[in-house]
Amino acid sequence: MTLTDKPIPRAAGWHILGAGAMGCLWACAMARQDERQAMGSPQVSLLLRDQEALAGYPGQVICSDMEHPLSIPAVAIAGADDQTPLQIHNLLVTTKAQDTLTAVASVANHLSTTSRIVLLQNGLKIQQQLTRLYGAERVFCVSTSHGAWLKAPFDVVHAGNGDAWLGQLDATGTCSRARLQSLRQLLPAEQLNVHIDHDIGARLWRKLAINCAINALTVIHDCRNGELLQIPEARQSLSRLCDEICKVLQAIPEAPPMGDLWTQVQHVLHVTAANVSSTLQDIRRGRHSEIDHLNGYLCELASAQHMPCPVNRAVLQQMRVLESRAIQAHSPTGSERPRQSSPHRSTDRQ
């Protein structure tokens, strides 16, 4: 591992794995908070995938919210067997869901038993897996409604100001409350409206349900979120998806009651009408989307319950075709890249 700056020595310091739009947004908010608190040099560093990525890093990140670019140190990850004495106290993971396990494993030898891992992925499967792997006490989940996209590498547009909810799966009682309070103090709580949610699991289940209804359809109809309500065929698919998602989730003991999912989905579509969904952004850039962690995961859950899931399965299949076409169209050789891509190359959350 090569450092462009000294490793962060303080337990308050952050390393961000995944320098896509979300990673850059959080990095800037953290660096700005450090500036305000007169911390001297920023207490946040970006973890970049390799020397090449580090060489291409301009040393600063631009965010549409800030008047000037912020100088943020970066570190290149050399691999899982890297021996550089870098201690990661707080790791914010903003890679795409499908790359997160590999990405965290690539820095695992820089984590200690007290390091905190904060996950910002869509879906729920990866949060459950990492909570099991690294322990319920160390793993935190964030669900966010902030909208962001990259104008250029390390140049992020904060397109929609939203909220971020921080919580832990499987964590109950006063210990978890204290852990969440102390972690929130290390986050840019005011700038990014970070709230504590003691039932983050329920929030993530609901977000999963909403993303399963909306995201793939925006790709199938190649439209902004709000337009789904204007296209009769899309409205019909939305309503059929909502019915089926509710039925599947009703059969999952850990999932909370969904209530009226159709009304919730319509509300989200109104509020985010002008957004290009994260899945459509991926497809338009010729990248793998998080679909396997959205409708794909829902279909896995249905199979485990021996339930049919035809509407979601059809959507998933259509998505696979569209995704592979988009990847092929963007590939310089015209041939599809392998599905398993390397962590945080083009895989960071947009």
Stretch that binds ligand KPL, among 68-76, 95-103, 210-218, 251-259 (CB under 6 A): 210-218
By beta-carbon proximity to ligand KPL, the closer residue of 11 and 274 is 274
By beta-carbon proximity to ligand KPL, the closer residue of 61 and 120 is 120
Query: Looking at 43, 94, 191, 278, which residue binds ligand KPL (CB under 6 A)?
Result: 278
Q: How many residues make contact with ligand KPL (CB under 6 A)?
A: 11
Question: Binding of ligand KPL at residue 215 (CB under 6 A)?
Answer: yes
Query: Looking at 43, 176, 277, 289, which residue binds ligand KPL (CB under 6 A)?
Result: 277
By beta-carbon proximity to ligand KPL, the closer residue of 226 and 286 is 226
Options 6, 125, 151, 207, the catalytic residue? 207
Which residue, among 95, 161, 90, 147, has the nearest Cα to 123 in the 3D structure?
95
Stretch that binds ligand KPL, among 4-12, 151-159, 196-204, 271-279 (CB under 6 A): 271-279
Stretch that binds ligand KPL, among 166-174, 176-184, 274-282, 300-308 (CB under 6 A): 274-282
Residues 225 and 275: beta-carbon distance below 8 Å: yes
By beta-carbon proximity to ligand KPL, the closer residue of 77 and 120 is 120
Query: Looking at 90, 225, 312, 347, which residue binds ligand KPL (CB under 6 A)?
Result: 225
Minimum distance from residue 271 beta carbon to ligand KPL (Å): 9
Q: Restricting to residues 9-28, which ones interact with ligand KPL according to CB under 6 A?
A: none
By beta-carbon proximity to ligand KPL, the closer residue of 36 and 267 is 267
β partners of residue 76: 2, 48
Minimum distance from residue 278 beta carbon to ligand KPL (Å): 3
Could you give the C-alpha distances from 90 to 30, 71, 112, 141, 146, in angstroms and in order?
Answer: 12, 19, 10, 13, 21
Minimum distance from residue 191 beta carbon to ligand KPL (Å): 20
Question: Binding of ligand KPL at residue 43 (CB under 6 A)?
Answer: no
207 annotated active-site = yes
By beta-carbon proximity to ligand KPL, the closer residue of 51 and 230 is 230
Question: Binding of ligand KPL at residue 176 (CB under 6 A)?
Answer: no
β partners of residue 143: 165
CA 115 to chain centre: 20
By beta-carbon proximity to ligand KPL, the closer residue of 75 and 322 is 322
3-state secondary structure the chain: CEECCCCCCCCCCEEEECCCHHHHHHHHHHHHHHHHCCCCCCCEEEEECCHHHHHCCCCEEEECCCCCCEECCEEECCCCCCCCCCCEEEEEECECHHHHHHHHHHCHHHEEEEEEEEECCCCCHHHHHHHHHHCCCCEEEEEECCEEEEEECCEEEEEECCCEEEECCCCCHHHHHHHHHHHHHCCCCCCCCEEECCCHHHHHHHHHHHHHHHHHHHHHCCCCHHHHHCCHHHHHHHHHHHHHHHHHHHCCCCCCCCCCHHHHHHHHHHHCCCCCCHHHHHHHCCCCCCHHHCHHHHHHHHHHCCCCCHHHHHHHHHHHHHHHHHHHHHCCCCCCCCCCCCCCCCCECC
Question: Binding of ligand KPL at residue 122 (CB under 6 A)?
Answer: yes
Question: Binding of ligand KPL at residue 268 (CB under 6 A)?
Answer: yes
Minimum distance from residue 213 beta carbon to ligand KPL (Å): 9
Stretch that binds ligand KPL, among 151-159, 188-196, 269-277, 324-332 (CB under 6 A): 269-277
Catalytic machinery residues: 207
Which residues bind to ligand KPL, rule: CB under 6 A? 122, 210-211, 214-215, 225, 268, 272, 275, 277-278
